[in-house]
Amino acid sequence: MRLKWVTSCFAIILLCAQVWASDQEQKQEVAEEKAQVLEQKAAEKGSERAVPKSEVITPSEAQAVDPAGAAPLDDAITCLARSIYWEAKGVAAADMEAVANVVMNRLGHEGFPDTVCAVVKQGSETRSCQFSWWCDGRADQVKEDDEYALAKEVARKALNKQLADRTHGALYFHDRTVKPDWAKKYIKTAQTRKFLFYKPGGGTAQ
């Protein structure tokens, strides 16, 4: 009798795990499809209207994407979240949101690509990456699950157009501990505890 009970419990647990995994996979697919539509609209820069409720990426959908923090960077949520994570993990949420703002501001802007992943990876072919973490030669897998979960939530809100632009239209930023020469060419638009933000004076990226 005890063996049957244990076997039945194990079968139920296994079934529940399979159902949960299937549900997570479905949420991931939905989130990635929504993100693709949202990044296309953001690249068009044609409308500032709120995202319709049916198109909004939900928190559970976003968290289902790249759960282990080790997936290839080939969808908008993963590329944006991984960039937020590596540029601003362990600092204030405002810094993370501002990094997301820069990526979204670049999306479709003259001089920048039309997809989030292309924006994040821009310059990699010449080893002059716009986001240094992408070209630093180190592994890009996530190390802190909680920090990555927060980065994915920030990415979700950014794609949903639910983040205010803390950078006031910035296309560039750097850590406050450095003073790059390129910063002299641009107008400083904002600052956070960790970063300084800039945009071109004439509105044209260089």
Q: Are 178 and 189 in contact (CB under 8 A)?
A: no
What average pLDDT values come out for the chain (206 residues) when binned by 10 residues?
58 56 86 94 80 94 95 95 94 95 94 93 74 76 94 98 96 93 94 95 60
pLDDT, tens digit, 9 for 90 and up, residues 55-111:
999 999 999 999 999 999 999 999 999 999 999 999 999 999 999 999 999 998 988
Considering just the CA atoms, what is the radius of gyration of the chain in Å? 20
Number of compact structural domains in the chain: 1
- Quote the domain boundaries for residue 154: 2-200
* Arithmetic mean of pLDDT over the chain: 87
Confidence (pTM): 0.85
In this predicted structure, what is the pLDDT of residue 139?
76
205, part of any domain: no
Residue 206 lies in a domain: no
